[in-house]
């Protein structure tokens, strides 16, 4: 059951717990009283992430959450973390009221404050227990944000949508590949489209062949599960001649590596190789309910990458939708092959911008770790806009270059290009160089989310397993999207092109 997030001007009588923020040195913005002796006994000083439990005379639980120092460094992300701390401390409660009275963040209104706290508590309360026979259901079902701000209700409503769609993304990523084949993923997309008013087209194998999607077919060749290609469309109400943004998500529902098979340990989490497609579907699901004013298309190439008897062999050449050819020297570098087809189709829509998300390279994880995604592209304005949106969403991105002088990394002796770069060098960059061959002059950004799409531990509102990374950044971008232009022909900001 989805977590109910609402707003009230006062704390309801029928509530199991009350939570409130406390700044360092026990400064309480809501003016609620705090017992200094209890604080001292629990080592509570108001430091960021600390919690203190007490109770009213009635027995109702009180949860004080440390906010850290007040001042210029206090931002909306601090409130998301506050919400996460409330969810952790009150996880045995059915209902919690969170007192937002007196909380202020520079540049944020009441809606933004309510949304941030609601996102934090809702995302932290997420559980995936579909396959547990003795699932311990999450007790928390109701969160009431106490605020007199005029915009708080709108913020709470937005938070509820964000939590729901990020949870959808997490559910898809966490579902075992045996239960989420390409056709099963497409069925989920059909249900989402029906519930949210999205347009949808599903290409089955015959249509994929007719469309000339050679990369998708080549990757799918070794699997007994037929591929799918999903095209979603969102048309904003009341907007005349809207700009169009195409979102493209890599959808490898399981990646064995194909004939270039992965070691066993490397396959253990490869159900997550469709995280990009899951993020696109989840983002599209939120567009209408959040009032996005941009026309948005979502392209999801879906297949398994398996080592069957008909699998693509190292040395084979695949022809992509736009006519370019790729020599496959490593079948485990398959994501760029299916994305090449999807990006080619995206260009045919003549969009204002294309953004793709993919768990694409281990090289990006080696460079940036598990918490930061790579940000690459061909347009300074679009790169900056995506980076700014990620900062608002607190989903960490780091800009990487696409140096034209590295193009020889993907030059092939027998085809237009090869699907791997120079051994041990710039793997994330050579992958982006290949993708760039399929976007033409359209402003484009590539997000390599191989690191942060899946977490091996719980941390605040990030839960172990699929994280839903990218959904909040895309929604933040689309919320304020304006047309961009000025392709920079391979030059990333501040990066010398050799």
pLDDT for 138 = 63
Q: Across residues 282-303, what is the average pLDDT?
A: 97
Residue 452 lies in a domain: yes
Q: Across residues 171-179, what is the average pLDDT?
A: 98
Return the higher-pLDDT residue of 478 and 138: 478
Residue 159 lies in a domain: no
Residue 330 lies in a domain: yes
For 445-485, the three-class secondary structure string (H helix, E strand, C coil) is: EEEECCCCCEECCCECCECCEECCCCHHHHHHHHHCCCCCC
Residue 19 lies in a domain: yes
pLDDT for 367 = 97
302 shares a domain with 264: yes
Residue 383 lies in a domain: yes
195 shares a domain with 79: no
Cα–Cα distance, 76 to 111 (Å, whole number): 11
CB 166 within 8 A of CB 123: yes
Q: Across residues 284-295, what is the average pLDDT?
A: 97
pLDDT for 368 = 98
Q: Across residues 163-192, what is the average pLDDT?
A: 98
Residues forming the active site: 262, 336
pLDDT reading at 401 higher than 90: yes
Residue 384 lies in a domain: yes
Q: Across residues 43-61, what is the average pLDDT?
A: 93
Residue 158 lies in a domain: no
Q: Across residues 174-203, what is the average pLDDT?
A: 98
Q: Across residues 78-87, what is the average pLDDT?
A: 97
pLDDT reading at 387 higher than 90: yes
Quickly state the pLDDT bin for 486 (edges 50, 70, 90): very low
List helix spans (H) across 229-361: 264-267, 275-287, 335-348
How many CA atoms lie less than 13 Å away from 236 in the CB half-sphere? 19
72 shares a domain with 182: no
- For 199-256, write each residue's pLDDT tens digit: 999 999 999 999 999 999 999 999 999 999 999 999 999 999 999 999 999 999 999 9
pLDDT for 491 = 37
277 shares a domain with 132: no
179 shares a domain with 140: no
128 shares a domain with 186: no
Strands 199-203 and 228-234, bridge-based pairing = antiparallel
169 shares a domain with 142: no
142 shares a domain with 171: no
142 shares a domain with 178: no
List the one residue out of 182, 191, 264, 167 whose CA is nearest residue 466.
167
318 shares a domain with 286: yes
Here the CATH number for the domain that contains residue 94 is: 3.40.220.10
pLDDT for 225 = 98
pLDDT for 2 = 80
Q: Across residues 112-116, what is the average pLDDT?
A: 98
pLDDT for 332 = 98
- In the chain, the N- to C-terminal Cα span, in Å, equals 55
Quickly state the pLDDT bin for 295 (edges 50, 70, 90): very high
Least confident window among 194-203, 393-402, 487-496: 487-496
pLDDT reading at 489 higher than 60: no
**Neighbour tally for 9: CB within 10 Å:** 10
- For 18-47, write each residue's pLDDT tens digit: 999 999 999 999 988 899 999 999 999 999
Residue 278 lies in a domain: yes
pLDDT for 54 = 95
171 shares a domain with 64: no
pLDDT reading at 403 higher than 90: yes
pLDDT for 31 = 86
Here the CATH number for the domain that contains residue 408 is: 3.40.630.10
pLDDT for 456 = 96
pTM of the model as a whole: 0.95
140 shares a domain with 112: yes
Walk across the sheet containing 316-319 and list its strands: 316-319, 325-328, 417-418
- For 313-367, write each residue's pLDDT tens digit: 999 999 999 999 999 999 999 999 999 999 999 999 999 999 999 999 999 999 9
Number of domains in the chain: 2
CB 261 within 8 A of CB 314: no
Q: Across residues 274-300, what is the average pLDDT?
A: 98
pLDDT for 338 = 98
Question: Domain of 17?
Answer: 4-146
Q: Across residues 155-161, what is the average pLDDT?
A: 98
């Amino acid at each position: 059951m989805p977590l109910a997030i609402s707003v009230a001007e006062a704390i309801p009588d029928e509530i199991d717990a009350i939570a409130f923020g406390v700044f360092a040195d026990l400064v309480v913005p809501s003016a609620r009283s705090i017992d200094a002796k209890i604080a001292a006994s629990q080592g509570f000083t108001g430091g960021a992430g600390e919690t203190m439990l007490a109770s009213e005379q009635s027995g109702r639980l009180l949860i004080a959450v440390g906010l850290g120092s007040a001042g210029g460094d206090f931002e909306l992300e601090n409130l998301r973390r506050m919400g996460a701390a409330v969810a952790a401390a009150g996880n045995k409660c059915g209902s919690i009221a969170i007192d937002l009275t007196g909380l202020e963040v520079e540049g944020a209104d009441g809606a933004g404050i309510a949304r941030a706290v609601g996102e934090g508590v809702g995302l932290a309360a997420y559980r995936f227990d579909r396959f547990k026979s003795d699932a311990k259901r999450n007790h928390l079902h109701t969160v009431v944000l106490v605020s007199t701000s005029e915009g708080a209700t709108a913020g709470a409503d937005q938070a509820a949508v964000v939590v729901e769609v990020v949870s959808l993304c997490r559910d898809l990523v966490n579902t075992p590949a045996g239960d989420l084949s390409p056709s099963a993923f497409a069925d989920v997309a059909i249900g989402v489209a029906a519930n949210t008013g999205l347009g949808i087209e599903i290409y089955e194998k015959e249509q994929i062949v007719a469309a000339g999607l050679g990369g998708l077919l080549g990757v799918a060749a070794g699997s007994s599960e037929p591929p799918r290609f999903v095209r979603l469309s969102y048309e904003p109400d009341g907007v005349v001649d809207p700009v169009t943004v195409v979102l493209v998500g890599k959808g490898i529902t399981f990646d064995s590596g194909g004939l270039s098979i992965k070691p066993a340990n490397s396959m253990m989490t490869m159900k997550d190789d469709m995280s990009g497609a899951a993020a696109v579907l989840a983002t599209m699901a939120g567009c209408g309910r959040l009032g996005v004013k941009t026309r948005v298309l979502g392209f999801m190439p879906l297949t398994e990458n398996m080592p069957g008897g008909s699998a693509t062999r190292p040395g084979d050449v695949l022809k992509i939708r736009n006519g370019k050819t790729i020599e496959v020297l490593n079948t485990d570098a398959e994501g760029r092959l299916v994305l090449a087809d999807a990006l080619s189709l995206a260009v045919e829509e003549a969009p204002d911008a294309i953004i793709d998300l993919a768990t694409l390279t281990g090289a990006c994880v080696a460079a940036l770790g598990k918490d930061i995604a790579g940000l690459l592209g061909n347009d300074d304005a679009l790169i900056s806009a995506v980076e700014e949106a990620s900062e608002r969403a607190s989903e960490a991105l780091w800009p990487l270059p696409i140096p034209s002088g590295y193009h020889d990394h993907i030059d092939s002796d027998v085809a237009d290009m090869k699907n791997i770069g120079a051994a041990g060098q710039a793997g994330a960059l050579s992958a982006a160089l290949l993708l760039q061959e399929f976007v033409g002059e359209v402003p484009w950004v590539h997000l390599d989310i191989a690191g942060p799409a899946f977490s091996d531990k719980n941390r605040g509102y990030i839960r172990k397993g699929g994280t839903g990374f990218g959904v909040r950044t895309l929604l933040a971008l689309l919320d304020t999207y304006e047309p961009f232009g000025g392709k920079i022909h391979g030059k990333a900001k501040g990066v010398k092109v050799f």
